[in-house]
Amino acid sequence: MPTLSCIGAGSLGKTICHLLSSQLEIQQIINRSPSSSQQAVDFIGAGTLGSFANLAHADIWLIATPDDDIEAAGEALWQSGVLRAGDTVFHCSGSLSASILNYEGAAIYTASIHPIHSFSNPSQSLKSFPGSHCAMEGQPEAMEVLSPLFTAIGALPFAIDADRKVLYHAATVTACNYLVSLLETSQQMLTAAGVDSAEANPLEPLIRQTMDNFFRTDARSALTGPIARGDHKTVTSHLIALETGTDTDLWQQVYRTLGNATVNIAAQRGQASTENLERISRLLKPEASDS
């Protein structure tokens, strides 16, 4: 079997290594500390503790460090002298391209594979990873090696233009990370309103219904609520209520920013009158609170 070693086996790295262990022989796991490396090896169920001071050759190298450390890790790997012609090195950054791994003239093939998946719970990810889309770009030789490996573990690889990768990553961050922030803001408002959600969160069915509606149809069809109806008086009452919140500035900023985006969707929906949507747009401007 081809061999794989990993630099930076955190939540993502150790999950990918575990999944790929059915396709590859896992070799060295290199983390900042031996204890962290051992935890990763235990999770993967394969591999040995490694360090830059004593690297062994592997056919494929996964660099799963934080983005800011990928270039340095790739350079340290090169300086170690362990890479051989025909080896593949890839990273999993959503915003950086494969070109950050520069082994020009050495016949070392590079790629980036970014799984559109939340690895916050690695044990759960082992079960839920199949069906995850993965954005791929890099040298054809590297993608020829990696694409079938990821397909074999249930991934759905697709090509991404390296020049537009940062915008793609901003989209995934907005959909995943910022969604968590939005849900937490909503939860804070709910708590401030005196609703006890300890036993069952009343927002959960609404959130799931909204997501289902969006993915089954589109934003225009899924949109409901006061802005979709053009209820400017309701929007006014919301803004007044938010002024008394525990985090007034943040809540107002979130409500107004997303409200403006919602006005655009509501205009496409066509349920509310243009006059009422224009009135709501004026209400949502930050300076409206000072008038």
Query: pLDDT tens for residues 65-96?
Result: 999 999 999 999 999 999 999 999 999 999 99
Strands (E), 15-94: 25-30, 48-49, 60-63, 88-91
How far apart are alpha carbons 193 and 181 in whole angstroms?
18
Q: Is the pLDDT of residue 282 over 80?
A: yes
Least confident of 8-12, 36-40, 240-244, 285-289: 285-289
Q: Is the pLDDT of residue 287 over 90?
A: no
- What pLDDT does 227 receive? 97
Q: Is the pLDDT of residue 290 over 60?
A: no
- Read off the pLDDT band of 246 (50, 70, 90): confident
For residue range 119-142, list pLDDT tens digits in order: 999 999 999 999 999 999 999 999
- Domain residue limits, the chain: 3-162, 176-290
- What pLDDT does 288 receive? 56
Instruction: Kindly state the average pLDDT of the residues 153-175.
Output: 96
How far apart are alpha carbons 45 and 43 in whole angstroms?
5
- What pLDDT does 116 receive? 97
Q: Which of 117, 72, 110 is nearest to 91 (CA)?
A: 110
Q: Which of 37, 29, 97 is nearest to 67 (CA)?
A: 97
How far apart are alpha carbons 28 and 6 in whole angstroms?
6
- Give the DSSP H/E element, type plus range, for residue 263: helix 248-269
The whole-chain average pLDDT of the chain stands at: 95
Instruction: Kindly state the average pLDDT of the residues 2-26.
Output: 97
Number of Cβ within a 10 Å radius of residue 157: 19
* Contacts of 245 by beta carbon, 8 Å cutoff, 6+ apart: 188, 189, 192, 251
3-state secondary structure at position 1: coil
Instruction: Kindly state the average pLDDT of the residues 100-109.
Output: 92
Assigned CATH for 3-162:
3.40.50.720
- What pLDDT does 291 receive? 45
